[in-house]
A and B are shown apart, each in its own frame.
Chain A
Amino acid sequence: MDAAPHQQPTLVAGAPPPPKLQIDKFADGGIVCLRLSGTIDEAFEGKKLAETLKAQTLVLDLGDIRKVSSFGIREWVDFINGVGKHSERIVLVECAPKIVDQLNMVANFAGTGRVYSFYAPYHCDYCDKDDRVLYQVDRDHEVIKSMKPPQRPCTQCGEMQYFNEDPITFFSYLAGQEKFELDPDVAAFLAAKLSYAVSDSARKLRIDKIIEGRTTFVRLGGDLEKSFPREQLAEGVEGVVVLDVAGIGKIEPAGAAEWRGFLQMVTPGAEALYLTGVPPTFLDKLTRPEDLGPKAQVLSFTLPYTCATCSTTAGQLIDVDEHFDVLKFATPPDLKCPDCKSALVCAAPEGLLTHLPSLPRPQVTADFKKLVADLRARKVQVKKIATTVAEAAAQQKGGGLWMAFAAAAATVVLAGGAFFIYQSFLADQGSKAPGRGKLVGASADARPDWIESDAALAAYCKDDAGGGMVCVGVSGLTTSSDDGVDEASDAALDAVASAIAARIEDPAWQSRVGSLYAQARQAKLAAADKDPRNAGARRDVRESRRAVARTLRATGGGAVPAAPSGRYWEEYDDGASKQYLGFASFTLAPAEVKRLVDGYRTPTDVMGAKAMTVFPLLAWRYPEVSRGAVLVAVDKGELRDLGMAPSYVVLSVGGRKVADATGFSQLAAEEMTRLKASGGTLALEVQAGDGEPKSFAAPVKADKPADTGSTGGRDPGGRDSGGRGGTGNVNVWDRYGGGSSGGRDDPTQ
């Protein structure tokens, strides 16, 4: 080589090279997770691997992929297309930056799959550390859409580290992907069994209950925490009780204590108590004799087994009765791989195996085992989340607060759905509302016909044939009849806003405006529904609805009736005090409905962007925002230069409040005219994400420099001094100091 010091390669003889791509497989029922680490190149047998995989949900962990060759891309595309034929859903998690590059480069790299989480590269200049930050499409949707990853403290030195990629390139694929949440069962599997990061809501406890003759079957999923609702769950649990705990993930000490308390509460009233599908952690922590008490028995549990042939580690269900003679010697039973029939090797820790002999032999019949297997396989009918007001109305027949949530949370699956079922079960038993007391008075002799549900906090609409609608709200229990009716009015107007939202079918509106409030609304309503006695949760709902009503009246352009068309209240006495339940209805004519829908869905062009009038339901997230304009698209222009992004809510321009989209357009035009005449700063107050509104400002040069009568006016670099008066060729930088205000280059940036 030309004049270069020559280095001979160091060849390692004898030792076989490590595999370039390591693939680990974990399975649990219909969920299969593949973890790939290393290099995807020509050695990756994509087609062959795809043929061996069948799953309802295939999770691909790509966090440790370091390199991908061009032939590896071809193999990968074969793989992803192949598994797409055998899997209902494919979810890509913890994608390494290298994978994000491929997603941006190769159009069909993800096949039918969707990216749930990915790593973004960060760098700290202070300690020269490269870092990776996990982004989730549900939690970080707005950052991804805006393509503006924020700086964050370095995990090593605490100084700010920055996103070390070109954001426009890096987020180009991900920003185009719709927001979604993991199915609860997938989230629970990932969080509990493989310790993946998933959203908190996905890990919350879910409870399903099925009553079959004298058998009460309760299925639990999620983390066992202090908030475990033992009293609520224990209520009405009797007969033969089967607790399916297969979905239990992490167990906190306080959660374990709650569980033990729950078993103690249930034991006296239960004929027999069985635990089934017990996962290893639960088996270890909560199935000692003192935990089980006198009646509880473990019917079945799972232990991890590895198949060397399939390179798969999966939880295998072990029937205690069937394998009792082996288990009593602290030995795991011999099992065969259900796929390849090879012998499996138990991967459970020794400590767990030593606990097996203490499990009592369950005394159950074959028929009962079959019943339990059937119940485990049976899926509780999850309430469909209404996507239209008509659907919501159709669901109202059953009564209950969950119906009111439905119209609002069109795209959000409600965690804790089982509680809604539980609540309606109580209602069916005749208790209209726990703690309400005896009905002792009302504002009319009979309850008006327009009331179809008296569930506290309910809100619903009914379409009429001509396109109009009647929306009804119900208050919580209040101390005065006036408070009750006022609260019900706000609830009814919240239902009006929901109904309007359901009629705006514009995808841009749904993604830019609808997505802004859906999660906040769902969370507040779910919190109130989960614990109706929680005063804080009720207050959140009440205040949010008040803000929604205020915004609807402010932005509805007179289409919202000034007063309810129907008002009614009922007085209850629980022996200690009197409480009131208020009802209110609003009737909207077809023309009023149309006017509202048109008013909120019509975009207005503003300086290269499109804006829509702030929607009332945004108040669930931004209670202080009652007027303004939401940006739904930001193309080239002054607003984009200013740093505006879709979903930002513009509150004021140059200190003047923005009323709606049209007002924003007018104010912006006036402000620009003024600035172009005399120069100055274009300043916007914007609600960009949670927290306080932010200020955005940028200098605007006058078309013709203002004649100040002074000399100069341009700094040595040729920049205009922006109407501040002549600087007389002095160094503008020195003169105005080192702040970061706009108007000149900042050498520190």
Chain B
Amino acid sequence: MRAIVLERNKLVGRRLVRYFLSAGVEALVVEDPAQVPAALADPAVGLVCADGFDGDAVRAACRARPGVRGLLWTAEPLRRSLRHLAECAAINHVLGRKDFESAPRPWELMMVLRRALEPGAGPPPLAAYLDWGYTGFEQQVGSTAHRDQVVQQVQDFVLALQVPKRLGEMMSELAHELLMNAMYDAPVDASGAPKYAIDRKAELTLPPDEHAMLRLATDGTRVILQVRDRFGGLQRRHVVDGLARGLAGGEMDQSHGGAGLGMTVCHHNALAMFFDVARGRRTEVTAMIELDLNLREVRTLARSLHLFDAVAGPH
């Protein structure tokens, strides 16, 4: 597969070519959106990448060549790139980067590229998110009371890493949010109707085959939180539209089945979110936060969003 990389910064462009080559993707760097259509004439091109600033050029390329996928990176708030995900189903990834003179995180880009090359391989193991082994725990969560204990365990685990207290609170908030979705919203009956979503205040005890699974792991530089359910019902619109509504910062509008608050809370509390869905079998949400940042940096760093497999849409 070949990729067109639209990047105006030469230094970043060279670095990106290196990453792409390492992943087994040949990249052609162009600096002007006007060069994209010509480069697209190459039938081997399967990926067009650019900063969210040039998202319109990526969308135009995806429209012009069905089957081509788009990939964006951004140093700005995710809200500005979401527009492209909402309006173009071929764009499923936004990679946050520190500033316009930096490349996205190499491991994150490598994961996206390698998965693009092997679309049917399924989600990577947790180790793929971390360096050289890790420490963590895994919990099957089947009741409201156990949920609260696990959420507290997440907070205690993160705080034991000598990070600011608010970081621990952010991760536990994230765990609570993801578990609520996996326990109350995900389970459906044989006809596909939600079983427990009607009353999120109710105490819940799930049968063993409906338990949610939570994993938390760290390699010392970042923390990965992963929650999985076995229903695989999460839709692309839940993520993209929900985030778009929530990040718009408007009045709470629940007329479209939710105000996007849950997604927004997750977005605020994680630097990168990975959504993996095997329809009817599995929804896996993975969140990442870096530990060697102060709170101000955590707040201001651009967020990443990745949609894989069924949640990514028709591709």
Question: Contact check: which of A3, A68, A98, A123 meets B164 at CB < 8 Å?
Answer: A123
Instruction: Tell whether A531 is near chain B: CB-to-CB under 8 Å.
Output: no
Stretch at the interface among A71-79, A83-91, A383-391, A686-694: A71-79
Is B315 close to A, CB under 8 A?
Answer: no
Contact of A9 among B139, B215, B217 (CB under 8 A): B139
Q: Which of B125, B126, B164, B250 contacts A107 (CB 8 A)?
A: B250
Report the stretch among B35-43, B61-69, B101-109, B173-181 that lies at the interface: B173-181
Interface residues of B in 119-156 (CB under 8 A from A): 125-127, 133-139, 145-146, 148-150, 153
B138 touching A1, Cβ below 8 Å: yes
Most buried by A among B126, B150, B261: B261
Interface string of A726-739 (1 = CB under 8 A from B): 00000000000000
Segment touching A, from B48-56, B91-99, B270-278, B292-300: B292-300
B252 touches A2 (CB 8 A): no
A98 to B295, CA, bound (A): 13
Contact (A67, B173) CB under 8 Å given A4-B217, A77-B252, A97-B166 = yes
Q: Are B294 and A67 in contact (CB under 8 A)?
A: no
Contact of B259 among A68, A74, A166 (CB under 8 A): A74
* Distance of A121 Cα from B125 Cα, bound (Å): 37
Name B295's contact: one of A3, A70, A121 (CB within 8 Å): A121
Binding site for A on B (CB under 8 A): 125-127, 133-139, 145-146, 148-150, 153, 164-166, 169, 172-173, 176-177, 180, 200-201, 215, 217, 246, 249-252, 254, 259, 261-262, 264-265, 268, 294-296, 299-300
Some 24 contacts from A to B, beta carbons below 8 A apart, are A1-B215, A2-B126, A4-B126, A4-B217, A6-B137, A6-B138, A9-B137, A9-B149, A11-B146, A11-B149, A12-B149, A17-B145, A20-B148, A42-B180, A69-B173, A70-B261, A73-B265, A106-B249, A106-B252, A107-B249, A107-B252, A108-B252, A123-B295, A165-B296
Q: Give the distance to chain A from B126, nearest Cβ to Cβ, in Å.
A: 5
A5 close to B (CB within 8 Å): yes
- A577 CB–B CB distance under 8 Å: no
Q: Which residue of A lies closest to B250 (CB)?
A: A107
| Structural contact, B176 and A41, CB atoms closer than 8 A | yes
A-B pairs with lowest CB-CB distance, top 7:
A70-B261, A70-B262, A7-B137, A1-B138, A166-B299, A166-B300, A2-B125
The reply to whether B169 and A67 form a contact with Cβ atoms under 8 Å apart is yes
Which single member of B127, B136, B176, B299 contacts A69 (CB below 8 Å)? B176
Evaluate contact between A164 and B264: CB separation under 8 angstroms. Answer: no
Q: Is the CB of B149 within 8 A of A1?
A: no
Measured in the bound complex, the distance between the Cα atoms of B127 and A3 in whole Å is 8
| A153-196, CB < 8 A from B | 163-166, 169-170
* Shortest beta-carbon distance from A123 to chain B in Å: 7
Which of B134, B249, B264, B265 has the largest number of chain A CB atoms within 10 A?
B265
Does A638 sit at the interface, judged by CB under 8 A?
no
Q: Contacts of A9 on B, CB cut-off 8 Å?
A: 137, 139, 146, 149-150, 153
A382 an interface residue at 8 Å Cβ cutoff? Answer: no
Q: How far is the CA of A74 from the CA of B251 in the complex (A)?
A: 11
Indicate if A43 sits at the interface (CB-CB under 8 A).
yes
Smallest distance from the beta carbon of A109 to chain B beta carbons, Å? 9
Q: Is A105 an interface residue when CB atoms closer than 8 A count as contact?
A: yes
Q: Hey, what's the 0/1 contact readout for A1-27 against B, CB within 8 Å counting as 1?
A: 111111101111000010010000000
Main secondary structure of the interface of A (DSSP, over half): loop
Are B126 and A164 in contact (CB-based, < 8 A)?
A: no
Of the four ranges (under 10, 10 to 19, 20 to 34, 35 or more), the interface on chain A belongs to: 35 or more
Q: Which residues of A contact B300 (CB under 8 A)?
A: 166, 169
Question: Which residue of B126, B254, B261 contacts A1 across the interface (Cβ within 8 Å)?
Answer: B126
A130 at the interface (CB under 8 A from B): yes
**Other-chain residue from A7, A11, A98, A165 in contact with B169 (beta carbon distance below 8 A):** A98
Evaluate contact between A69 and B268: CB separation under 8 angstroms. Answer: no
Q: Which B residues lie within 8 Å of A97 (CB)?
A: 166
Structural contact, A130 and B173, CB atoms closer than 8 A: no
Contact yes or no, B127 A2, CB < 8 A: yes
State the CA gap A7–B216 with chains docked (Å).
11
A284 neighbours in B (Cβ, 8 Å): none
Known contacts A1-B136, A42-B201, A121-B295: does B251 contact A70 (CB below 8 Å)? no
Residues of B contacting A20 in the complex (Cβ-Cβ under 8 angstroms): 148
Q: Are B165 and A130 in contact (CB under 8 A)?
A: yes
**Bound Cα distance from A97 to B166, whole angstroms:** 10
CA–CA, A17 to B147, complex, Å?
A: 12
Judge whether B149 and A105 touch: CB under 8 Å: no
Q: How far is the CA of A108 from the CA of B148 in the complex (A)?
A: 28
**Shortest beta-carbon distance, A100 to chain B, in Å?**
12
A431 CA / B165 CA spacing, docked (Å): 65
- B176: chain A residues within 8 A (beta carbon): 41, 67, 69
Given contact pairs A130-B164, A163-B296, enumerate 19 new A-B contacts (beta carbons under 8 Å): A1-B126, A2-B125, A2-B127, A3-B127, A4-B126, A4-B136, A4-B217, A9-B137, A12-B149, A17-B145, A20-B148, A67-B172, A67-B176, A69-B173, A69-B177, A98-B169, A107-B251, A165-B295, A166-B300
